[in-house]
Amino acid sequence: MSFGSRMRAAADAYGPLCVGIDPHASLLEAWGVGDSLDGLERFADACVQAFAGRVGFVKPQSAFFERFGARGVAVLERTIAGLRHTGSLVILDVKRGDIGSTAAAYAQAYLDDDAPMAVDAVTVSPYLGLRSVDPFFEVAEKNDAGVFVLALTSNPDAPTVQHASTGEQTVAGAVLADLARRNTGAAPLGSAGAVVGATIGQTSEDLAINGPLLVPGFGAQGGTTDDLRRLFGDVWPQVIASSSRGILAAGPDPAALRASAERVNAELVYS
């Protein structure tokens, strides 16, 4: 099955919530496990126990594992292995962006199904040019994986780039149009997704890309269910709403984490 088909199936089966697995130093301390490699391992194990096969989507943030060096990356690799093929789709938040053979190498590292850190989808940046992400889509297509391209992020100074005009459209509009082109004719959804922040307020851009919309910033970062429904309207069924701190604050007990995710998911069920 294509990623778009698997996304639709996972959302229908489990709901649209994506749990961000972000081991911030402050969170590890709040859990009482310590900001250390041992604390990272205990955090990751609890998340696997809590969320594998219980939510439709999980999104590990690679940087919070990488900061521990090679041993932290090894924990990430084990975490991915524990989450994949359980019913939960793993979206690795790496925001890679490069060109040519380097982009292809990144794509093979995360999207080739035989790779040690293979996941179901990754996040990428298109700001070296729209064609710079082509290698990710090429590898993704061969492996039925997905690619989420940064389009309308909610960091405060993003509009200086994303709202800049390229002539007839904005930079963000060009990104979204390119994704819509890649998804032409796909059913039930294409596998080319966009990242759109929950706290951007409003937009006049066309979000109907016939593909998944990964929406960070929901929950503790300020985005509400009402914000999502207002912002996404008719494309609401394509939304994967990502929350991390608001759910992870219930840890470290896996049962409490699972219950926290279930409460949030219940608010988001498509209607």
Instruction: Copy the structure tokens of residue 61.
Output: 């943030």
Q: Which of 24, 84, 95, 163 is catalytic?
A: 95
Burial (CB count within 10 angstroms: exposed 0-12, middle 13-18, buried 19+), residue 251 = buried
Q: What is the dihedral of CA 148, 152, 157, 162, to 10 degrees?
A: 100
Q: Which residues pair with 18 in a beta bridge?
A: 57, 242
Instruction: Copy the structure tokens of residue 95.
Output: 């925001």
The answer to whether residue 95 is catalytic is yes
Which residue numbers are catalytic?
95
